[in-house]
Amino acid sequence: MKKRWKRMMGIGLTVLGLAAAAGCGSPSASTPADGGGSPQAAGSPGGQAGAGLDAELNVFNWSEYLPESVIKKFEEKYGVKVNYTTFSSNEEMLAKVAAGGGIYDLTVASDYYIQPMVKQGMIEPFDLNNVPNFKNLLPEFVNKEFDPGNKYSIPYMGNTVSLAVNTEKIKTEIASYQDLWKPELKGQIVMVDDQRFILGMVLKSLGYSANDTDPAHLEQAKQKMIELMPNIKAFDSDSPKTLMINGEVNVAFVWGAEIALAQREVPTFQTILPKEGLMITMDNFVIPAGAKHKKTAEAFVNFLLDPAISAEIADSFPYINPNKEARTMIDRATLENIAIYPPAEEMNRVEGLQDIGDAAKLYDRIWSEVKSAQ
């Protein structure tokens, strides 16, 4: 199930040229409505009439990141039809949002995308008065440097990308990123289809920062990544756990939640915290400029930050949950799984991905050259 890769331009000064990027879809979701319309008193059997919300809401989110059951609960409670579509990468999200036109009312962006989107006028501020459940968020996840005061973003979930090894099938030692290049792992690895995490991993294996922008270091990383390609079975950001569970791969460099979900079916997958250290990002709700149903989007975010709802999301998609009240409802096994919540000593040395400005164009070129070497 190797994903078709779409080359996107960087997030730097070329961001507004992304309008023509190809579309995406969710197998269980409708496409967003084009029209806006004036606010209506929404209502449905068992729902709340009024509340000043619109009759519909257009949401654009990562795939495998929100249970359909939660969407239905919101629809039933407020009588709002949620048009829900998905993307597989930040680049894909950015291209669609850059097209403008108020197509989406709410989307999700990784932390290092927030400042560039603000600078380009691509997102607009939240009215936190409409999101009272913001108070449930842990202090370490709010008021971050990329968005002081959370004017433009509200934390949703976060993740690290860890290594996982099926110890029943793989007997060679894997303790670091460097070990992924072992020839006995040919065709055995699935990786997230995310250029920043993968190039960051290669850079860290070379002793550099995951945010390095030195052209010489990036050229070195490109050559090393090309050498790794024979070991990679697939790039998959949608559901890499499927290949793990089906036995098509026995090594993974994927989202921690995907490792945890694979472990539920194949307990012999062991999480490996690499010697070079982990990378982390936090995904955040943002409101695209020109959103036609802004207050309804804020109501949706507030609903998702309800502790019980947030815990329900974490059960289906166990990423790092920043909701302190929800964590009291999440089972202990999830909270103690190091693939999702690495120990304190690891978190003390974790490296967050950052906005790299114009160097994103260099990353794009290198990523294209790596993929063309397949």
DSSP string over 40-55: --B--TTS--BTT--S
> Which pLDDT tens digit goes with each residue over 289-309?
999 999 999 999 999 999 999
The tokens of 263 are what?
């472990």
> Which pLDDT tens digit goes with each residue over 137-194?
999 999 999 999 999 999 999 999 999 999 999 999 999 999 999 999 999 999 999 9
Go through the chain and tell me how many residues it has: 374
Lowest average pLDDT, out of 11-15, 98-102, 305-309, 344-348, goes to 11-15
d(CA 300, CA 131): 9
- 200 in helix, strand or coil? helix
Going by pLDDT thresholds of 50, 70 and 90, the confidence category of residue 241 is very high
Tell which residue, 267, 239, 275, has the closest CA to residue 166. 267
Q: Do domains 15-158+283-330 and 159-280+338-366 have the same CATH topology?
A: yes
Look up the pTM and report it. 0.84
CB distance 256 to 161 below 8 Å: yes
User: What is the predicted pLDDT for the residue at 88?
Assistant: 86
Lowest average pLDDT, out of 24-38, 212-226, 266-280, goes to 24-38
Helix or strand run (H / E) with residue 362: helix 359-371
- Cα–Cα distances in Å, from 59 out to 38, 46, 355, 372? 18, 23, 24, 33
Give me the phi and psi of 153, to 5 degrees please.
-145, 150
Helix or strand run (H / E) with residue 58: strand 56-62
User: What is the predicted pLDDT for the residue at 26?
Assistant: 35
Residue 270's contacts (CB-CB under 8 Å, 6 or more residues apart) are 164, 165, 166, 167
- The mean of the pLDDT values for the chain is 88
CATH entry 3.40.190.10 includes domain 15-158+283-330:
yes
> Residue 31 above 70 pLDDT?
no
User: What is the predicted pLDDT for the residue at 32?
Assistant: 54
- In this structure, the strands spanning 154-166 and 251-255 are antiparallel
User: What is the predicted pLDDT for the residue at 39?
Assistant: 36
Domain 159-280+338-366, CATH number (from 3.40.190.10, 3.50.50.60, 3.40.50.720, 3.90.79.10): 3.40.190.10
- Mean pLDDT in residue range 78-85: 97
Helices 307-316 and 68-78: crossing angle in degrees, nearest 10, is: 150
Query: Is the Cα dihedral 316, 180, 280, 57 positive or negative?
Result: negative
Q: Where are the domains of the chain?
A: 15-158+283-330, 159-280+338-366
Q: What is the DSSP letter of 260?
A: H
Give me the phi and psi of 284, to 5 degrees please.
-135, 145
d(CA 45, CA 119): 43
Written as one string, the DSSP assignment of 16-38 is GGGTT------TT-PPPPS----
User: What is the predicted pLDDT for the residue at 52?
Assistant: 86
Which has more pLDDT, 42 or 341? 341
Helix or strand run (H / E) with residue 85: strand 81-87
d(CA 271, CA 166): 9
CB distance 303 to 134 below 8 Å: no
User: What is the predicted pLDDT for the residue at 13?
Assistant: 34
> Residue 198 above 50 pLDDT?
yes
User: What is the predicted pLDDT for the residue at 102?
Assistant: 86
User: What is the predicted pLDDT for the residue at 189?
Assistant: 98
The tokens of 311 are what?
């815990």
> Which pLDDT tens digit goes with each residue over 113-147?
999 999 999 999 999 999 999 999 999 999 999 99
Which has more pLDDT, 257 or 3? 257
226 Rama class: left (phi>0) / alpha (psi -120 to 50) / beta: alpha
User: What is the predicted pLDDT for the residue at 101?
Assistant: 77
> Which pLDDT tens digit goes with each residue over 326-364?
999 999 999 999 999 999 999 999 999 999 999 999 999
